Amino acid sequence: MTSWIPLATVAECPPGASLERVVEGRIIALFHAAGQIHALDGVCPHQGGPLGKGLLTGCVVTCPWHGWQFDVRSGQNPLSENVRQPVFSVKIEGEEILVQLNDEDAAEP
Ligand code: FES
């Protein structure tokens, strides 16, 4: 079962922006890059840094804690093909940015 969850408005995530939202027990990072909104799991796989507060350069976000990088379109780390951050589908309805979460994505309380 999947749900489309409104996370932010388009105005809150202008081109070049990074944004962090907490929804249903998960931290989601939103990025406006290459003319689109992208959503990644917001918890860096290195040591849990906040990717939604990272620096976005082109389509690459740099984790603010130790500098790991991810392509926000694919979640791929450019240095290791084994490191890929989960990505979520995004759609825009009116002014709302919605992200598709699977029910099993919800974190345990
Ligand atoms: S927690 Fe993200 S690079 Fe270390």
CA of residue 79 to ligand 1 center, whole Å = 14
pLDDT in tens, 5-39: 999 999 999 999 999 999 988 999 999 999 999 99
Residue type, 72: V
Query: DSSP string spanning 43-93?
Result: B-TTT--BGGGSEEETTEEE-TTT--EEETTT-B-SS-TT-B--EE-EEEE
pTM of the model: 0.91
CA of residue 24 to ligand 1 center, whole Å = 23
pLDDT in tens, 67-88: 999 999 999 999 999 999 999 9
Residue nearest to atom 4 of ligand 1 (CA): 66
